[in-house]
Amino acid sequence: MRKFFYCIVIVFASVVIAACSKVGAGEEDDLDEIDQSDNVFPIINAARPTANQVYRSGDSIIVEGIVTDEKKMYKGKVQIKNDVNGLMVAENYYETHFLQAMNFRLAYKAIVTASTEFSVLLEFQDHGMNIATAAIKVKVDP
């Protein structure tokens, strides 16, 4: 009885795996298709941080906002970079093929021993290959 049960489980798992591997086959290329009629750039609305905002060491730099497009968004990224040493200290990537608006959020707990400037970099692209960018400078004091 036990062997029979294991055989059924193996057959069922094989059928599920084979079926899942075929779901969406051939559709992936359609998702990356360029919309030649889309010539309007996405709009980035960053709610925070504000330009030149000053934080204390140990505070979290929180990046939040929404990006919208008149058609469909494609992908984007949010990054926080330490301007003193050039290191990317935090980043988050987004991808969608169906939404006209995407919320974004990224947090980084900044601990410094000397006043340090950071750059918040936002970049989002729609299916017309239109890329919107924004940069926000902030400072963290010890």
Check pLDDT > 50 for residue 42.
Answer: yes
Q: Per the domain annotation, does 53 fall within a domain? A: yes
Question: What pTM does this model have?
Answer: 0.76
Q: Per the domain annotation, does 26 fall within a domain? A: no
* Residue 4 pLDDT level (bands cut at 50, 70, 90): low
For 130, the token pair is: 């239109």
Strand-strand pairing, 131-141 and 53-56: parallel
Query: What is the chain's mean pLDDT, rounded?
Result: 86
Domain with 118 in it:
38-141
Q: Per the domain annotation, does 7 fall within a domain? A: no
For the beta carbon of residue 132, count every other beta carbon within 10 angstroms. 17
For the beta carbon of residue 137, count every other beta carbon within 10 angstroms. 13
Q: Per the domain annotation, does 104 fall within a domain? A: yes
**pLDDT attached to residue 35:** 85
Tell me how many domains the chain contains.
1
Q: Per the domain annotation, does 50 fall within a domain? A: yes
Digit-coded pLDDT (tens) for 57-112: 999 999 999 999 999 999 999 999 999 999 999 999 999 888 999 999 999 999 99
Report in angstroms the alpha-carbon separations of 6 from 1, 2, 3, 12, 103. 9, 6, 5, 10, 46
- SS3 of 71, please? coil
What CATH number should be reported for the domain holding residue 57? 2.60.40.2550
Digit-coded pLDDT (tens) for 8-39: 545 555 544 544 444 444 444 566 788 888 89
